[in-house]
């Protein structure tokens, strides 16, 4: 169908066919809150596709978000969804996972939420190798509150609280996670739809603390404050400046203002999770006396 | 509501001597094995590891309402620093029970003092660490506050599993030390500290 | 229903209040505890971390109290009974997610072994200065339930009640111990499992299609579905409708928040607990709680010896407040005397409820110790004298 025929078609079905992602979304909540050109919706789509392809039992999949634009994702995914407090998605998810070990628990939140106010939880969950899939949308800014400086804002980039440009060195998040022991660390931009989907599909099958960072544009704030154009311009920038280097040294993954963004899978190793370490240790030191928590949760009743 | 017949005890020594365990055993003997009420409070923080760690007990046939002690009826001193810190609060007719190699007691007229070489007794059993249990046995014999069987049961329930035999032996040695050696209360009135005297 | 016997250490024990609280939690069926070390509460989790591996429980020492409370709320949504334990400074950090627990209507228990404050204050010494914080500490309007034990035995018994109340009303319950009770060792008798009542987590029997997480249908407490049972529900700290979806409107705020308040206030008579002694002919009533109630009894003896007719109202549940009882008493007694180890917190509630019908005398103590009974007795005698 060419562009000039739009509006002249008459053979639309009475009911439009269901969107393929609809079964994974709370369609009654659509339209969502995200701005035109925002990358978060793309990542939700990729995650839903990855869930479908991986064939996991969706009844046993939970998603936990903190606060912020990305933090709204838990509200749109048709899973058990928990919209927790600012920065606390990871510890909330830790309780959820340990309270019912059979769950697949995904944390879906933003850079400010997970690495700013929640930074301490981030490093400790990585250190413990808590069995969580963490999808971190990095748009370099606090979007929900109006474009303030984030721990990820590149040097010299402008934000509403660094109107003359940021002078604080930002986090290199893959390196932060990897150096705390995370066994699975990857980064894509939201232009890399297929690769991101593959990565998420793979990450769902892995265990332990898995970080998938997704660089995404924020057209009304980050892009506007820094005169970077529209969402489409953001995509063009990713197209021209994203460099895929699987296995790259995570020390080299810092992001400079409008410089190249190294993408790929940087860490993928097998490591015992917190729960596995606990089980193995107590089995060894306590033997028959050790009673692990049941997969479906702690003592309930009947 | 009565606190009638209330007896107050302070156990003191240096951190690592098992002061709190000694207090716990006496309290447990009263509260679990002898039908009394006993409220124990112990030192916390740096004090618990320092040179004058202490545990206090309020023991009563009735209800213990006020958990802290005022002037104790009995002071069990297992270190010199502990004794120096708490000696003035002992009641005028109180009883001092002490480690005789470590504490040089000064008591007022009307107070009674009973010393035992509890560390040496413990060492003779091969483990200096049970000094506190020797002292609990000696305490039981000298004060008569709790039936000996209650104290023995409390020792048995309170020490680490596998060490019951050793600890009960320590307890018995402490208890017998009084019965066998001190046929009458040793009364040392206003004896000046023996400066530089060997243990 | 009866508890899981694995968590019940039946027998007579010589335990401090902290250990007894831990035993109470395990007897109540608590199987998830997250905490961060802080004096004088740490013994609770030390006890639990030693016993949990044998009963299918998980303890995790989190990186801070923010995380501890968040993890407790998360675990509670799996149906596992969950608790955290702290003292003043940690309690302050937990307030954010105590608010979340209240807003999400999450059953859980928060133990605060109170020490002297403010700030770092007196880490190893007693205080009762967090009783208002327990009620008002998180932002916005919500209600909680708070209990105050006076002995290690009550630390055991009331911890079970705290869990039961949290299940019954789907609310975070504040277990407001104090350092003195937490660190005193006394006889604690733990009954046989058959003699202990625990309220189970009742799961909805609705189908996922008909279930809405905050639909109440005329009742005040919604039905509960746990994560992982196919309900695919959503819950949020934002103001939400029956589906648990955020709705930013005046109407939704009114419906959502008023029910958080009503479910506790409308059931206050069921929740409120107190104990009375010698109230019948009392001219003066001492109103107090926790360790101070024990000390006040000695003061009452002293005052009675001076001929004052004085009774005791010991609050066991401090939130919701024993409003109706205080109102009634204020009509019949000459004065109320309120000793507490703070500079006058719950006395404000007593004054509010007395409504000027009788004088209310605060007996303050800054913390670090308990009152001298003679000081309380003097206030009782003065109050009695001004009456005659």
DSSP sequence for B28-91: HHHHHHSS-EEEEEE--THHHHSTTEEEEEEEESS-----S-SS-SEEEE-SHHHHHHHGGGS-
Instruction: In whole angstroms, give the CA distance from residue C182 to residue C20.
Output: 9
Q: How do residues A146-168 score in pLDDT, each as one tens digit?
A: 999 999 999 999 999 999 999 99
Q: Output the pLDDT for position B184.
A: 45
Residues B30-73 have pLDDT tens digits of 999 999 999 999 977 676 677 789 999 999 999 999 999 999 99
Question: CA C367, CA C291: separation in Å to the nearest integer?
Answer: 12
Pairwise CB contact (< 8 Å): A75 & C62: no
| Distance separating alpha carbons of residues C296 and C150, to the nearest angstrom | 12
Cα–chain center distance at C330:
25
Count of Cβ atoms closer than 10 Å to residue C3 Cβ:
22
Q: What is the mean pLDDT of residues B81-88?
A: 94
pLDDT by residue for chain C (388 residues), tens digit each?
A: 999 999 999 999 999 999 999 999 999 999 999 999 999 999 999 999 999 999 999 999 999 999 999 999 999 999 999 999 999 999 999 999 999 999 999 999 999 999 999 999 999 999 999 999 999 999 999 999 999 999 999 999 999 999 999 999 999 999 999 999 999 999 999 999 999 999 999 999 999 999 999 999 888 999 999 999 999 999 999 999 999 999 999 999 999 999 999 999 999 999 999 999 999 999 999 999 999 999 999 999 999 999 999 999 999 999 999 999 999 999 999 999 999 999 999 999 999 999 999 999 999 999 999 999 999 999 999 999 886 5
DSSP one-letter code for A297: B
**Best residue in B66, B69, B155 for a mutation probing chain C (most C CBs within 10 Å):** B66
**CA angle, C385 as apex, C382 and C388 as ends, to 5°?**
155
- Buried b / exposed e over A269-293, threshold 16 CB at 10 Å, is eebebbbeebbeebeeeeeeebbeb
H/E/C letters for each residue in C164-188? HHHHHHCCEEEEEEEHHHHHEEEEE
Q: Are residues B68 and C370, on separate chains, in Cβ contact within 8 Å?
A: yes
> Do the Cβ atoms of C8 and C190 come closer than 8 Å?
yes
What DSSP string describes A182-245?
Answer: -SEEEEEETT-HHHHHHHHHHHHHS-S-EEEEEE---IIIIIHHTT---HHHHHHHHHHHEEE-
Q: Which of B1, B37, B57, B65 is the mutation pick for testing C, counting most C CBs within 10 A?
A: B65
Which pLDDT score is estimated for C317? 98
Residue A3 has pLDDT above 90, yes or no: no
Q: Which superfamily does C5-195 belong to?
A: Thiamin diphosphate (ThDP)-binding fold, Pyr/PP domains (3.40.50.970)
**CA-to-CA distance for C70 and C36, rounded, in angstroms?**
12
Nearest-10 crossing angle of helices C373-387, C291-305: 50
What local confidence, expressed as pLDDT, does residue C200 receive? 95
Counting every residue written for chain B, the total comes to 199
Helix (H, G, I), strand (E, B) or coil at C236: strand
Give the count of beta carbons closer than 10 Å to the beta carbon of residue C269. Answer: 11
CB B68 to CB C369 under 8 A? yes
> What is the nearest CA distance from C197 to chain A, expressed in angstroms?
13
All residues of chain A having their beta carbon less than 8 Å from the beta carbon of residue C34 are 91, 94-95
Asked if C53's CB is within 8 angstroms of A290's CB, the reply is yes
Of B183, B133, B136, nearest to B159 (Cα)?
A: B133
Classify residue B178 by its DSSP letter: I
Residue keyed to tokens 């923080």 = B45
Q: CA C272, C277, C283, C285: dihedral to nearest 10 degrees?
A: -50
Q: Which residues of A are less than 8 Å from C54 in CB distance?
A: 286, 289-291
Reading the block at residue C120, the tokens are: 């770092």
Considering CB atoms only, which of C186, C295, C301 is closest to B31? C186
Which chains border B (3 or more CB–CB pairs < 8 Å)? Answer: C
Are C84 and C94 spatial neighbours (Cβ–Cβ below 8 Å)? yes
Contact with chain C for residue A60, Cβ under 8 A: yes
What does DSSP say about strands C122-126 and C108-116: parallel, antiparallel, or unpaired? antiparallel
Q: What is the pLDDT of residue C349?
A: 98
**Per-residue model confidence (pLDDT) at position C388:** 52
Q: What is the ipTM of this complex?
A: 0.97
Number of helices (H), then strands (E), belonging to chain C: the values are 13, 16
| Residues with Cβ within 8 Å of residue B127, at least 6 apart in sequence | B166, B170
User: What confidence tens digit (pLDDT) does each residue in A93-144 have?
Assistant: 999 999 999 999 999 999 999 999 999 999 999 999 999 999 999 999 999 9
CA distance C293 to chain B (A): 9
Residue A8: predicted pLDDT:
65
Min Cα distance C277 → chain B (Å) is 10
**What are the pLDDT digits (tens) for A184-200?**
999 999 999 999 999 99
Mutate to test the interface with C, among A78, A99, A109, A287 (most CBs of C within 10 A): A99
Supply the pLDDT for residue A126: 98
Spell out the domains of chain B, with CATH numbers in brackets. 7-116+146-159 (3.40.920.10)
In this predicted model, what pLDDT tens digit does every residue of A247-274 receive, in sequence order?
A: 999 999 999 999 999 999 999 999 999 9
- Per-residue confidence band for A1, with pLDDT thresholds at 50, 70 and 90: very low
Q: Which residue of B has its CA nearest to C152?
A: B39
DSSP labels for A104-162? EEEEEEEHIIIIIITHHHHHHHHHHT-S-EEEEEE-SSBTTTTSB--TTPPTT--BTTB
How far does the CA of residue B66 sit from the closest CA of chain C (Å)? 6
Q: What is the set of domains in chain A, with CATH numbers?
A: 20-289 (3.40.50.970)
Radius of gyration (C-alpha) of chain C in whole angstroms: 21
Angstroms from C331 CA to nearest CA on chain A: 45
A81 contacts in C (CB within 8 Å)? Answer: 232-235
A59: pLDDT strictly greater than 90: yes
Q: Which residue has the tokens 């005022």?
A: B70
Alpha carbon distance A88, C7 (integer Å): 30
Angle at C327 between CA C321 and CA C328, to 5 degrees: 120
Distance CA C154, CA B153 (A): 25
Q: Do B68 and C291 touch (CB under 8 A)?
A: no
Judging contacts by C-beta atoms under 8 Å, the chain A residues touching residue C30 are 298
Q: Considering only residues 53 to 92 of chain C, which have any Cβ-Cβ distance to chain A shorter than 8 Å?
A: 53-58, 60, 62-64, 66-68, 70-82
DSSP letter assigned to residue A264: E
Cβ-based contacts of C121 with chain B (< 8 Å): none
Task: Summarize pLDDT for A64-103 with one digit per residue, the tens.
Answer: 999 999 999 999 999 999 999 999 999 999 999 999 999 9
Angle between helix axes C88-104 and C65-76 (nearest 10 degrees) is 30
- A80 to chain C: nearest residue by CA? C232
Contact B111, B97 (CB under 8 A): no
- Kindly indicate whether the domain formed by C273-387 is annotated with CATH number 3.40.50.920: yes
Closest residue of C to B36, CA-based? Answer: C187
Of C213, C294, C218, the C-alpha closest to A82 is C213
Mutate to test the interface with B, among C183, C187, C304 (most CBs of B within 10 A): C187
Q: What is the pLDDT confidence band of residue B1, given thresholds at 50, 70 and 90?
A: very low
Report pLDDT for C13.
98
pLDDT at position B165:
97
pTM of full prediction above 0.90: yes
Domain coordinates in residue numbering, chain C? 5-195, 238-271, 273-387
Q: What is the pLDDT of residue C168?
A: 97
Q: With cut-offs at 50, 70 and 90, classify the pLDDT of residue B181.
A: low
Q: What is the token pair recorded at C104?
A: 């999400």
Q: Write down the pLDDT at residue A16.
A: 79
Cβ-based contacts under 8 A for chains A and C: 197
CA distance C107 to C101: 7
Indicate the SS3 state at residue A12.
coil
* Tens digits of residue pLDDT in A24-40: 999 999 999 999 999 99
| pLDDT exceeds 80 at position B199 | no
Chains C/A: 3 or more C-beta pairs closer than 8 A? yes
Q: What angle do CA C76, C79, C83 make, to 5 degrees?
A: 35
């Amino acid at each position: 169908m060419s562009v000039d025929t739009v509006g002249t078609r008459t053979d639309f079905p009475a009911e439009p066919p269901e969107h393929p992602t609809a079964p994974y979304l709370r369609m009654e909540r659509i339209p969502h809150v995200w701005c035109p050109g925002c990358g978060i919706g793309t990542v939700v789509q990729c995650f839903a596709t990855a869930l479908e392809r991986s064939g996991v039992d969706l009844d046993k999949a939970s998603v936990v978000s903190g606060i912020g634009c990305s933090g709204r994702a838990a509200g749109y995914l048709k899973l058990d969804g928990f919209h927790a407090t600012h920065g606390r998605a990871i510890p909330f998810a830790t309780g959820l996972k340990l309270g019912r070990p059979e769950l697949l628990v995904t944390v879906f939140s933003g850079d400010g939420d997970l690495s700013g106010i929640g930074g301490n939880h981030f490093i400790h969950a990585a250190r413990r190798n808590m069995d969580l899939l963490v999808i971190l949308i990095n748009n370099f800014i606090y979007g929900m509150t109006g474009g303030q400086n984030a721990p990820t804002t590149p040097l010299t980039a402008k934000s509403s609280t660094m109107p003359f440009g940021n002078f604080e060195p930002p986090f290199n998040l893959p390196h932060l996670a990897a150096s705390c022991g995370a066994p699975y660390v990857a980064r894509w931009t939201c232009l890399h739809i297929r690769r991101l989907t593959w990565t998420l599909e793979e990450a769902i099958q892995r265990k332990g603390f898995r970080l998938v960072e997704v660089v995404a544009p924020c057209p009304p704030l980050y892009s506007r404050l820094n005169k970077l154009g529209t969402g489409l311009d953001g995509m063009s920038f990713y197209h021209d400046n994203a460099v895929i280097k699987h296995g790259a040294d995570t020390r080299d993954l810092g992001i400079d203002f409008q410089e190249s963004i190294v993408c790929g899978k940087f860490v993928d190793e097998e490591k015992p999770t917190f729960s596995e370490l606990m089980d193995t240790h107590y089995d060894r030191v306590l033997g028959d006396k050790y009673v692990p928590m049941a997969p479906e949760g702690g003592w309930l009743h009947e | 509501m009565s606190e009638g017949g209330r007896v107050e005890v302070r156990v003191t020594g240096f951190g690592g001597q098992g002061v709190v365990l000694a207090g716990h055993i006496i309290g447990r003997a009263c509260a679990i094995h002898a039908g009394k009420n006993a409220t124990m409070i112990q030192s916390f923080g740096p004090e618990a590891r320092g040179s004058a760690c202490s545990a206090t007990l309020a023991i009563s046939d009735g209800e213990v309402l006020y958990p802290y002690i005022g002037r104790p009826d009995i002071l069990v001193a297992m270190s010199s620093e502990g004794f120096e810190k708490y000696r003035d609060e002992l009641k005028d007719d109180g009883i001092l029970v002490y480690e005789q190699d470590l504490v040089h007691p000064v008591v007022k007229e009307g107070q009674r003092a009973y010393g035992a070489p509890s560390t040496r007794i413990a060492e003779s059993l091969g483990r200096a660490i049970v000094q506190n249990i020797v002292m609990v046995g000696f305490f039981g014999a000298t004060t008569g506050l709790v039936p000996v069987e209650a104290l023995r049961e409390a020792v048995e329930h309170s020490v680490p599993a596998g060490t019951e035999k050793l600890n009960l032996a320590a307890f018995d040695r402490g208890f017998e030390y009084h019965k066998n050696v001190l046929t009458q209360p040793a009364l040392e009135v206003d004896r000046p500290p023996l400066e530089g005297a060997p243990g | 229903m009866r508890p899981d016997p694995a968590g019940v250490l039946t027998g007579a024990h010589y335990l401090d209040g902290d250990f007894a609280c831990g035993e109470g939690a395990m007897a109540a069926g608590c199987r998830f505890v997250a905490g961060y070390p802080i004096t004088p509460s740490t013994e609770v989790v030390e006890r639990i971390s030693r016993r949990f591996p044998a009963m299918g429980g998980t303890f995790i020492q989190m990186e801070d109290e923010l995380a501890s409370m968040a993890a407790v709320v998360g675990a509670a949504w799996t149906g596992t009974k969950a608790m955290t334990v702290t003292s003043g400074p940690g309690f302050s950090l937990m307030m954010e997610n105590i608010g979340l627990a209240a807003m999400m209507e999450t059953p859980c228990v928060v133990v605060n072994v109170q020490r002297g404050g403010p700030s770092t204050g007196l880490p190893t010494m007693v205080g009762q200065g967090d009783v208002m914080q327990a009620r008002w500490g998180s932002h916005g309007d919500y209600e909680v339930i708070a209990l105050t034990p006076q002995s290690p035995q009550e630390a055991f018994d009331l911890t079970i009640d705290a869990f039961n109340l949290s299940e019954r009303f789907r609310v975070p319950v504040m277990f407001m111990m104090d350092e003195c009770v937490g660190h005193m060792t006394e006889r604690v008798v733990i009954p046989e499992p058959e003699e202990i009542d625990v309220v189970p987590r009742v799961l909805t029997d609705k189908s996922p299609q008909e279930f809405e997480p905050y639909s109440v249908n005329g009742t005040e407490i919604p039905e509960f579905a746990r994560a992982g049972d196919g309900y695919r529900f959503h819950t949020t700290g934002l103001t939400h409708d029956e589906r648990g979806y955020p709705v930013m409107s005046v109407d939704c705020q009114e419906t959502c928040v008023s029910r958080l308040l009503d479910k506790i206030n409308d059931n206050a008579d069921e929740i409120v607990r107190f104990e009375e002694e010698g109230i019948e002919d009392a001219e003066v009533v001492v109103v107090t709680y926790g360790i101070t109630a024990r000390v006040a009894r000695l003061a009452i003896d002293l005052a009675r010896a001076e001929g004052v007719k004085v009774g005791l109202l010991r609050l066991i549940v401090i939130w919701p407040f024993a409003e109706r009882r205080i109102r009634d008493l204020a009509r019949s007694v000459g004065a109320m005397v309120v000793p507490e180890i703070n500079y006058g917190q719950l006395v404000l509630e007593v004054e509010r409820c007395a409504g000027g019908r009788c004088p209310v005398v605060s007996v303050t103590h800054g913390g670090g110790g308990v009152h001298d009974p003679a000081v309380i007795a003097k206030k009782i005698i003065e109050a009695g004298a001004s009456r005659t």
